[in-house]
Each structure stands twice: as C-alpha cells, then as structure tokens.
C-alpha cells in the first residue's frame, strides 16, 4: 500500500462551523486525528475547538499540506464542496452528507474519474484506523486496534459489528463505511483489494445490503483473488421487491439485487455468510482460532 490512503496525516473539515462539523471535529480530535484546519466561506478567521477556519481549501493549502478532507456541508452545497476538494487535488475525500441528489453525484463521479482524488461516500459514517485516527462520525468508544478489516454499506450495522469485534477482544485494523447511496466513491472491491494487499489485515468483514450490484462484483473479486478469510452479511432478507430500505441505494430491483441472491453468490465465492449481524463476530473468532 502506498503511504496508506486510509491513514492520512493532515486532515481538514469542510463545513467545520456547522453543528455537525463542529461537534464531530471535536470528537475526531479527541480520538487523536490531526485536523489542521476547516472551511466555512462566511466564517474565515474564527476557530473551532482551536482549529483555524479558512474561506477555501486553496487558502488552507497556502499554510498546510492536506491529505484528506471530511465533508459535513448540507446536501444542497455538497456538490460544490466535493468539486472544490477534487479541484484542490485532495488525495482522500470523505463525504458524510446524506441526501445528495443523484444528478449531483453523477457530475461528481465524472469529475473524479479525471482526477487523482479518491472519494468515500457520500452518506458515509467515515473511516477509522483504531488507535490512530478516525475521519467522520464513527463513535470513538467502539473502536479497538486489531487486525480485522471491516467494510460496510450500512452505518448503523458498522457500529454494531465494530462494537462486537471490540468487546470480543479481536479489534479492527480498518473500518470503512462506503455509504449507501447508488452513486458513490470507493466500493467493496476497492476496499477488498486494499485489505488483501495489507499485511496488517488478517481477516475481512463485509456488510452489504439489497439493491445494486456491488456485492456481486465483490463476490467475483473474492472468488478470483482473495486469499484472506472473509465473513459477510447482507441486510434486507425480508424486503419485498421495489421497497426502499432506509436510503437510496437500498432499493430492491432485479432478483440479482436481492439479499438471497447476493448471499448465495458470496457463499459460492468462499465467503462465510452469516444470517444475522450478531453471528459475524463469533464467525470471525472461530476463523482466527482455526488459523492459529
């Protein structure tokens, strides 16, 4: 892994003066994340939790190196904030904002393909490298350093699984919430590749949902390339077709987008599939004990 994309050193917060931005800046800093500055177009010159506020990212870059940005701006301004981060060539962009219109995200994705920036989200709880830093809104108290890579489409289920892994004494190496929107940045396969090539990751937990083809693509990747054990869970087994489950990405369209289809495909790819989120940690524990 190059100067590991999931452990950036100098972080900024776009929308640092809003209630979410200010609150989570404090929580991120309390966890040890090095937040060097934030942006707020109308509040430049102020400080939030001792972090200087600038008008633009370009202004910040005159004074600081920036490795990652966490975006907390409202959905109506998210496209402009994402464009600004991509134009400033920020290597890693994490977008917590939910409810961004699909046509805005299509424009963002088109811009991303011509850039070197990587996006996590939108509608993402963020990422964490337990014991080092966290970017986003994952609760500090559930994180424990370990050797399990966790990647999930669902924020709430991420917290549940990470808390259980921590309680069991296993802990996590990386926690990545890719977000639940249909148009997003990094997907399961991108994260699986990172985990696969990272010698500090011993096993992988993957939490998917109904809707879209991300999990099916992940199954194809796993069957072809994965050498590390993967434990998986797909939310939404009882969802009727055409019903939206929580957020935009989780709408069950074709049979291939159903929890049953995805579960079977991942099982065939060699993934240990769980039928309840509470079974994930015991399954990981068993795999780790069998490896010894």
Into how many domains does the chain fold? 2
Question: Would the pTM count as exceeding 0.85?
Answer: yes
Average pLDDT (281-289) is: 97
With 0-12 CB in 10 A as exposed, 13-18 as middle and 19+ as buried, what is 43? middle
CATH code of residue 236: 3.40.50.261
Is 77 inside a domain boundary?
A: yes
Is 137 inside a domain boundary?
A: no
Is 224 inside a domain boundary?
A: yes
Taking phi over 0 as left and psi of -120 to 50 as alpha, with beta for the rest, 212 belongs to left
Average pLDDT (247-270) is: 82
**How far apart are the C-alpha atoms of 70 and 236, rounded to whole Å?**
29
Confidence of residue 254 (pLDDT cuts 50, 70, 90): confident
Is 284 inside a domain boundary?
A: yes
Please check whether residues 16 and 114 belong to one and the same domain. yes
Tens digit of each residue's pLDDT (9 = 90 or more) over 63-73: 999 999 999 99
Is 264 inside a domain boundary?
A: yes
Is 2 inside a domain boundary?
A: no
Please check whether residues 44 and 110 belong to one and the same domain. yes
Q: Are 77 and 63 in contact (CB under 8 A)?
A: no
Strand order in the sheet with 126-129: 133-136, 126-129, 172-177, 145-152, 203-209, 230-235, 272-273
Please check whether residues 15 and 84 belong to one and the same domain. yes
Confidence of residue 253 (pLDDT cuts 50, 70, 90): low
Domain that holds residue 49: 11-120
Is 23 inside a domain boundary?
A: yes
Please check whether residues 150 and 86 belong to one and the same domain. no
Is 230 inside a domain boundary?
A: yes
Q: Are 221 and 214 in contact (CB under 8 A)?
A: no
Does 247 participate in catalysis according to the annotation? yes
Residue 2 has pLDDT above 50, yes or no: no
Contacts of 55 (CB under 8 A, 6+ apart): 39, 40, 41, 44
Please check whether residues 157 and 112 belong to one and the same domain. no
* Catalytic position from the list 64, 77, 237, 247: 247
Please check whether residues 101 and 171 belong to one and the same domain. no
Residue that terminates a domain, selected from 105, 120, 135 = 120
Confidence of residue 109 (pLDDT cuts 50, 70, 90): very high
Confidence of residue 5 (pLDDT cuts 50, 70, 90): confident
Residue 125: predicted pLDDT: 97
SS3 13: strand
Contacts of 196 (CB under 8 A, 6+ apart): 225, 226, 227, 228
Q: Give the pairing type, strands 133-136 and 126-129.
A: antiparallel
**How far apart are the C-alpha atoms of 280 and 207, rounded to whole Å?**
10
Average pLDDT (96-102) is: 96
Please check whether residues 108 and 155 belong to one and the same domain. no
């Amino acid at each position: 892994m190059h100067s590991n994309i999931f452990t950036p050193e100098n972080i900024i917060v776009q929308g640092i003066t809003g209630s979410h931005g200010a609150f989570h800046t404090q929580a991120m800093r309390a966890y040890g994340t090095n937040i060097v500055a934030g942006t707020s177009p109308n509040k430049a010159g102020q400080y939030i939790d001792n972090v200087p506020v600038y008008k633009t990212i370009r202004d910040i870059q005159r004074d600081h190196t920036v490795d990652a940005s966490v975006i907390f701006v409202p959905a109506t301004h998210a496209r402009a904030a994402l464009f600004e981060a991509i134009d400033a060539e920020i290597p890693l962009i994490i977008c917590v904002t939910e409810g961004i219109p699909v046509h805005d995200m299509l424009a963002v994705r088109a811009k991303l393909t011509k850039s070197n920036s990587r996006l996590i989200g939108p509608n993402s709880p963020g990422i964490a490298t337990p014991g080092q830093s966290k970017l986003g809104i994952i609760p500090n108290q559930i994180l424990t350093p370990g050797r399990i890579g966790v990647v999930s489409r669902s924020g709430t289920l991420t917290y549940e699984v990470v808390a259980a892994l921590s309680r069991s004494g296993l802990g996590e190496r990386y926690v990545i919430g890719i977000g639940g929107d249909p148009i997003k940045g990094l997907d399961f396969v991108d994260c699986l590749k990172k985990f696969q090539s990272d010698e500090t990751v011993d096993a992988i937990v993957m939490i998917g949902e109904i809707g879209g083809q991300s999990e099916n693509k992940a199954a194809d990747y796993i069957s072809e390339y994965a050498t590390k054990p993967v434990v998986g869970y797909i939310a939404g087994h009882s969802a009727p077709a055409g019903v939206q489950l929580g957020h935009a990405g989780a709408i069950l369209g074709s049979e291939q987008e159903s929890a049953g289809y995805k579960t079977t495909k991942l099982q065939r790819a060699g993934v240990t599939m769980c039928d309840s989120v509470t079974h994930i940690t015991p399954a990981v524990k068993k795999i780790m004990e069998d490896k010894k």
